[in-house]
Every structure is written in structure tokens, then in C-alpha cells.
Amino acid sequence: MLYWLLVFGAFLVVLGLTQWLLVWLKQHGVHINRWIFGLAAFLVVMIPHVVVKHVPIPVDAILYILCAVFAIAFMTESHTVLLHYEKEHPNTPAK
């Protein structure tokens, strides 16, 4: 039970970090396409494992954290795009 509470807490920390990062980037006029976040989520883990046979565990942990941040950023940005589309097109067939 304690393990799952720690995992949930870690997820909330990563979610908060990602939200803060996206807001900070937008405040500084940086807009990264959501598909770059989506590709980076996988490539940030895959490329080091292809290039180096044995990735140290601390580096691997950092790569997985970055993967989670990029994946959450992709999902958040996709949700923002969907909300913006629904606001501009209120009579969508999905409703």
C-alpha cells in the first residue's frame, strides 16, 4: 500500500513539474510542437540504450523521468489543442 502511495505522489510531482515547465516556456515565448514532446518521450530512452550497451542506473532513472515529463507534456498539449478546437467549432459531431 505504501508503495502505491509513493508512486502516486511521484506522479503528482512529475505532473506538477511538467505543468510548471509548460507555463514557463509559454511565458518566455517558446512553443514546442506537441509531436516533438511525443517523439522525445520515446527517443530520450531508446537512443542512449542503442548507443551504449550498459546505461548506469542513475542515468537510466533520469532518462525515465524525462520520458514521463515529455509524455505528460504531450498529453497536456494534446488536451489543450482539443479544447481550443472545440471552442472554435462548438457544433462538432462528438457532442
- Could you read off the pLDDT of 11-43 as tens digits, one per residue? 999 899 899 989 999 999 998 899 999 999 999
Answer whether 34's CB lies under 8 Å from 81's CB: yes
Per-residue pLDDT band for 94 (boundaries 50, 70, 90) equals low
Indicate the pTM of the whole model. Answer: 0.77
Report the alpha-carbon distance of residue 25 to residue 32 in Å, rounded: 9
DSSP 61-85: HHHHHHHHHHHHHHHHHHHHHHHHH
Residue 71: count of CB within 10 angstroms of its CB? 18
Element (H, E) at 38: helix 34-51
